[in-house]
């Protein structure tokens, strides 16, 4: 498939590597010149392009930008071919993204995102840390394989997203519709806690929308404090912290 990735940060770069390695024709763009994209992201064949070109002819567009940048990339997404599957990885972090009134506690982040894109969007790869995404990919059938929840309203688009999740090294888990996707937002028990397919239904069920915003902010404050003092935190630290707080 022809895949365009908007955003070449921690998640977008790994997506480009994995999906190219799986045989897809991948183009990736950031907000600047293609030369600024990390060579590692291109190491398995992905092409660095300008953002204005990245959705051209795409079968799938994956958006992996901070939520505050979603309105900036909306025009690009809207310009994608009508049949293109749109997948979004974003999460809202007020401490990082600033206050977005429409995303006060209880809002379904991906509905806000889909509204900007003006088309159905699938939520995927949002609930695994960049660290686990890099380090914990395994082959299908591996015991204890980490699962990634996929939410969306269009069955065909969701099926495409689930196949791609599998190809990036994780068990795809159908987490239902986009309105239900608040159960995989920051601060919920399923969020960045590296559960398996067998465990996910239970943890998604435990989500409490009235507490997730506060828990998200507690966890991010702890990560900021630790990383300012000791440098980048590990995948294991993040999973233990999130499991304790969420
Ligand atoms: N990091 C994680 O652990 C993690 C895990 C799961 C999901 N997520 C979510 O996934 C999203 C991406 O996360 P990340 O950690 O990969 O972010 P990141 O490292 O900050 O990268 C963001 C990327 O978006 C690009 N971008 C911003 N505005 C753009 C525009 N107008 N046009 C094209 N590209 C643009 C940036 O380009 P420039 O470099 O040119 O500014 C950068 O390449 C976020 O919403 C995040 O919450 C993150």
Q: Residue 5's pLDDT is what?
A: 99
Helix pair 235-245, 209-230: axis angle to 10 deg: 150
Three-state secondary structure call for residue 3:
strand
Find the 141 Cα to ligand 1 centroid distance in Å. Answer: 30
pLDDT in tens, the chain (246 residues): 999 999 999 999 999 999 999 999 999 999 999 999 999 999 999 999 999 999 999 999 999 999 999 999 999 999 999 999 999 999 999 988 888 888 876 689 999 999 999 999 999 999 999 999 999 999 999 999 999 999 999 999 999 999 999 999 999 999 999 999 999 999 999 999 999 999 999 999 999 999 999 999 999 999 999 999 999 999 999 999 999 999
As a whole number of angstroms, the distance between CA 134 and CA 136 comes to 6
Closest atom, ligand 1, to C-alpha of 13: 16
Find the 171 Cα to ligand 1 centroid distance in Å. Answer: 23
Residue 143 DSSP code? T
Ligand 1 atom 5: residue of nearest CA: 129
First and final C-alpha spacing in the chain: 37
Q: Residue 105's pLDDT is what?
A: 65
Three-state secondary structure call for residue 145:
coil
Closest atom, ligand 1, to C-alpha of 12: 16
Ligand 1 atom 9: residue of nearest CA: 90
Is the CB of 212 inside a 6 Å radius of any atom of ligand 1? no
Query: How would you class 166 by CB atoms within 10 Å of its CB: exposed for 0-12, middle for 13-18, buried for 19 or more?
Result: middle
Is the CB of 67 inside a 6 Å radius of any atom of ligand 1? yes
Q: Residue 104's pLDDT is what?
A: 72
Q: Give φ, ψ of 85 to 5 degrees.
A: -85, 130
Domains in the chain: ranges and CATH = 2-209 (3.40.50.720)
As a whole number of angstroms, the distance between CA 81 and CA 67 comes to 23
Q: Residue 102's pLDDT is what?
A: 81
Question: Do residues 4 and 50 lie in contact, with contact meaning Cβ atoms separated by under 8 Å?
Answer: no
Is the CB of 31 inside a 6 Å radius of any atom of ligand 1? yes
Is the CB of 74 inside a 6 Å radius of any atom of ligand 1? no
Find the 64 Cα to ligand 1 centroid distance in Å. Answer: 5
Take residue 129 and report the two structure tokens written for it: 């840390």
């Amino acid at each position: 498939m022809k895949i365009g990735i908007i955003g070449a940060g921690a998640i977008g770069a790994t997506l480009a590597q994995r999906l190219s390695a799986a045989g897809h024709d991948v183009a990736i763009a950031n907000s600047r010149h293609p030369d600024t994209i990390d060579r590692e992201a291109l190491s398995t064949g992905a092409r660095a392009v300008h953002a204005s070109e990245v959705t051209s002819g795409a079968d799938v567009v994956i958006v992996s930008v901070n939520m505050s940048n979603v309105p900036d990339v909306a025009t690009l997404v809207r310009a994608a071919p009508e049949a293109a599957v749109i997948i979004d990885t974003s999460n809202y972090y007020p401490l990082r993204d600033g206050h977005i009134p429409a995303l006060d506690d209880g809002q379904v982040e991906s509905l806000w995102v889909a509204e900007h894109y003006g088309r159905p969007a699938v939520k995927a790869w949002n609930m695994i840390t960049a660290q686990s995404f890099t380090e914990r990919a395994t082959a299908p059938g591996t015991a204890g394989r980490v699962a990634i929840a996929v939410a969306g309203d269009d069955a065909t688009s969701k099926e495409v997203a689930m196949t791609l999740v599998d190809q990036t090294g994780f068990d795809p888990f159908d987490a239902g519709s986009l309105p239900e996707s608040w159960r995989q937002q920051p601060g919920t028990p399923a969020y960045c806690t590296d559960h398996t397919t067998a465990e996910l239904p239970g943890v998604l069920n435990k989500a409490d929308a009235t507490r997730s915003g506060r828990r998200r902010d507690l966890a991010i404050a702890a990560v900021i404090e630790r990383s300012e003092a000791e440098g980048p935190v590990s995948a294991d630290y993040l999973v233990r912290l999130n499991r304790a707080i969420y």
